[in-house]
Structure 1
Amino acid sequence: MADANPTKKLHPRNRHLDNYNFDELSKIEPSLKDFVTVNAYKLKTIDFNNPEAVKILNQALLKKYYHIQHWDIPKENLCPPIPGRADYIHYVADVLARDNNGEIPKGGKVRVLDIGVGASCIYPIIGHQEYGWSFVGSEVIKKAYKNAIEITRTNMSLKKNIQIRLQNNPKAIFKDIILPDEKFDMIICNPPFFSSQTEALQQSVRKTTGIKDAKIDETSVVQTFSGQGSELWCDGGEKAFLTRMIFESQFYRDQVKWFSSLVAHREDVRFLLHKLKKINVKESEVIRMEQGNKVSRILLWRF
């Protein structure tokens, strides 16, 4: 029986181009069996709206493809779909290859900073296991920060190659994270998407119920998104966060080769490119990514 494939048009080097083999993955992570169902097309799948199911799938994928034996996140934290996260890493690898005679630079001398590493530590895991890069991950939420540290501590391949730093100033992005005389080849970021808790919950209700103007209350907000904080929202949402990131980047132009971030809202791209033009960047570009029906973009710039 064929297995459902939630991935389409992924990067050519993405390890998740083929259908998920749920029989094989269930042998690697036996608890996955409890979440596997057969859909109307007689394809094996899981409910991708169920965070616990996605988490168990991630554990199986991380064991099979990235040799990560110990990975877990608190229930309230975002559970990242691994194929899309891997795509971001592969595309920035292509960008770094341009300055390396077309060859992707590998090894610990390549240093990457992940802004908002999250409890999952997923980008550093993929980046190190694929290319051997060393990572610094910043995080403002203490619980997420501690969980990311626990992941690196319990996996020997990550322990010496990924450093997690707590950002004590929620209004700063690079300050006190990029240390004096420290150099990075690439900065990556998956910024907060929403401008408020209420907006985040409204979108969640819309996705699961199909009701465009569903009413919500403050209790629902707290119960549904307790602990996620800046993973999902910040004042002004994605546009405000990236505007601040662009502004701060000019003060680190001599320490960072490339700055980058995901941009979820297509309508924000032109505004952000205009902001980059105002600070006289040497180069900027937008890379389009597609995963199934989802389209996102990587915004890159350098001085």
Structure 2
Amino acid sequence: MHPRNKNAAGYDFAALAATSAALAKHIKTTVAGTPSIDFANPTAVKMLNRAILMHHYGVKGWDIPAGYLCPPIPGRADYLHSVADLLATCNKKNIPSGPGVRVLDIGTGANLVYPLIGHAEYCWSFLGVDIDEAALANAAAIIAKNPELDGEIELRHQTVWENIFTGLLRSGEVFDLSICNPPFHNSPDDVHAVSQRKWNNLNKPGAKRGATEPRLNFGGGGSELWCNGGERAFVKLMIEQSCNIPKRVMWFTSLLSQGDNLPHIELALKKAKVVESRIIPMAQGQKQSRLIAWSFFGNGEREKWRKEHWSSAPAFGTTAPDAQPAFPVSKSAD
């Protein structure tokens, strides 16, 4: 886990329980004598997320509708810290902070987690994009409960299912960074099969009875979890469409969970003739994943960008090893 991650040392259940009585009801003592929750219980996981967002990031009234993705907060925070370090490589090892740093969040979802954490940690401003209007409505409700986010997080509806970047940006809009947690699975059946396998591995009584309706502890459905071709096809399309806006985003990035997809993505980047690409390893516990980053900017262009966009931005801090430390929803452009 990233050293700046607020949960790098594990969950502080005592502090989190003090923040949320709703979470406290779900905290149990394990056989090892340590506090924990039942991570197979979607309600417990949701209460944990709500408490983390309140305790560590000051987010009030966070909630998601039934059936929407409830992502693990530490993993999402790791992504943001990793891309902050990426920006620092273009800024003399200093992480640029403040609302002048603009981040494009593809598939922001009902949970709005990336903008919430990114603004709390680095004061970045965000454009959160999604094809699901109900998800955006919930994200807007979260912003409304946190008035300090008004004007810092904008939401936009991508109206064309097949598009990611195409038709999205308005005239003159540029971003320092794009982020994305792409749909992982190929189909709803794939989602169900993986869920069933995880359920069986938990050795729950329901699994022993041959239960066929396991619950996803992380929730999610539809565009959040699957698309035709899965993660590989989605990221390849993202790379393809990024070629049409090469100078509108300095660094395009995406999570890539499946290592087997890496050779295909590297080939797509080569075909796109990107100026630079990077693979940044990420790990949370036993889970191994990676961050893919690519740019159509050369070193000279990135230096020019730094001077034009970040010269007056406050530096969060150095990434040197010895110093680790809106609403309303708008439509995409025609």
User: Structure 2 length as normaliser, TM-score?
Assistant: 0.83
CA distance in 2, matches of 1:223, 1:55: 12
Please point out which of 159, 163, 166 is paired with 2:154. Answer: 163
- Counting only pairs closer than 5 Å after superposition, residues 25-174 of structure 1 correspond to structure 2 as 25-174=16-165
1:242 maps onto 2:235 in alignment: yes
CA distance in 2, matches of 1:275, 1:209: 36
Aligned position for 2:263: 270
Unpaired runs of 5+ residues, structure 1, are 1-9
Number of aligned residue pairs: 288
CA distance in 1, matches of 2:54, 2:13: 14
Q: Write the letter of the residue equivalent to 1:11.
A: H
CA contact (8 A) 1:76 1:225 kept: no
CA distance in 2, matches of 1:207, 1:180: 46
CA distance in 2, matches of 1:226, 1:285: 31
1:196 maps onto 2:187 in alignment: yes
Unpaired runs of 5+ residues, structure 2, are 297-334
- Measured on the aligned residues, the alpha-carbon RMSD in Å equals 2.0
How far has the Cα of 1:154 moved from its partner?
A: 1.4
Change in 2 beyond 3 A, CA 1:181/1:58: same
How far has the Cα of 1:29 moved from its partner?
A: 0.4
1:181 maps onto 2:196 in alignment: no
CA contact (8 A) 2:45 2:217 kept: no
CA distance in 1, matches of 2:168, 2:20: 36
CA contact (8 A) 1:193 1:238 kept: yes
Structure 1 residues 230-285: Cα deviation after superposition (integer angstroms, max 9, x where no partner): 00000110011111101000011011100000001101011101110111100001
CA contact (8 A) 1:22 1:45 kept: yes
How far has the Cα of 1:175 moved from its partner?
A: 2.1
How far has the Cα of 1:42 moved from its partner?
A: 1.2
How far has the Cα of 1:22 moved from its partner?
A: 1.6
Q: Write the letter of the residue equivalent to 2:231.
A: E
Change in 2 beyond 3 A, CA 1:191/1:160: same
CA distance in 1, matches of 2:11, 2:93: 31
CA distance in 2, matches of 1:223, 1:62: 21
CA distance in 2, matches of 1:226, 1:131: 28
CA contact (8 A) 2:70 2:219 kept: no
How far has the Cα of 1:93 moved from its partner?
A: 0.3
CA contact (8 A) 1:139 1:166 kept: yes
CA distance in 2, matches of 1:96, 1:13: 15
Aligned position for 1:285: 278
User: Structure 1 length as normaliser, TM-score?
Assistant: 0.91
Q: Write the letter of the residue equivalent to 1:240.
A: A
How far has the Cα of 1:99 moved from its partner?
A: 1.2
Aligned position for 2:316: none
Structure 1 residues 128-166: Cα deviation after superposition (integer angstroms, max 9, x where no partner): 110010000111112111111111121022121001111
CA contact (8 A) 1:197 1:221 kept: no
CA distance in 1, matches of 2:215, 2:255: 27
Aligned position for 1:301: 294
CA distance in 2, matches of 1:84, 1:224: 15
Structure 1 residues 63-99: Cα deviation after superposition (integer angstroms, max 9, x where no partner): 1111111210012111111110000000000010111
CA contact (8 A) 1:192 1:233 kept: yes
Aligned position for 1:4: none
> Match of 2:94, SS?
coil
CA distance in 1, matches of 2:170, 2:196: 41
Change in 2 beyond 3 A, CA 1:120/1:227: closer
CA distance in 2, matches of 1:23, 1:106: 31
Structure 1 residues 81-135: Cα deviation after superposition (integer angstroms, max 9, x where no partner): 1110000000000010111111100001100000000110000001111001000
Higher relative contact order (CA 8 A, sep 6+): 2
> Match of 1:252, SS?
coil
> Match of 2:154, SS?
strand
